[in-house]
Amino acid sequence: MAALFSGLYLTRIELRQPVDAELAQSYVFSLPAVKHLGRLELRQPVTFLVGENGTGKSTLLEAIAVACGFNPEGGTRNFSFSTSDTHSLLHRALIVSKGVKRPKDGFFLRAESFYN
């Protein structure tokens, strides 16, 4: 079964336990997508995050992107700019497990990328 998923870039996202005191006080840990995260096993090439507005889907996706080395405002890993640091520190509380295959390039696409 492991060989089937070895071509995936990300294989698991996990919330680090215990979370340091500064992070534990952050609003992000009250968001359902974060509060109930635990461990997310990624077994398919595409994963959908669905839920009501305000549940933390975008916050979680942004934290995963930052943990993988992307700019929180979007773009490639080599494109680093900041208009205003508004991202959470959630990326510090994530353990991102990667597969053996490494992409040559990547892009974190978000609606704000078009604005900037």
108 DSSP 8-state letter: B
pLDDT of 9 reads 86
Whole-prediction pTM value? Answer: 0.80
| CA-based torsion, 46, 51, 52, 57: positive or negative | negative
pLDDT digits (tens, 9 = 90+) for 79-98: 666 556 667 888 888 999 98
Task: Determine how many CB atoms are found less than 10 A away from the CB of residue 42.
Answer: 16
Instruction: Give residue for tokens 């933390």.
Output: 56
Is residue 91 within 8 Å of residue 8, measured between CB atoms?
no
pLDDT digits (tens, 9 = 90+) for 11-35: 999 998 877 787 778 888 889 998 8
**pLDDT of 101 higher than 80:** no
Residue ranges of domains in the chain: 2-115
Is residue 28 within 8 Å of residue 59, measured between CB atoms?
yes
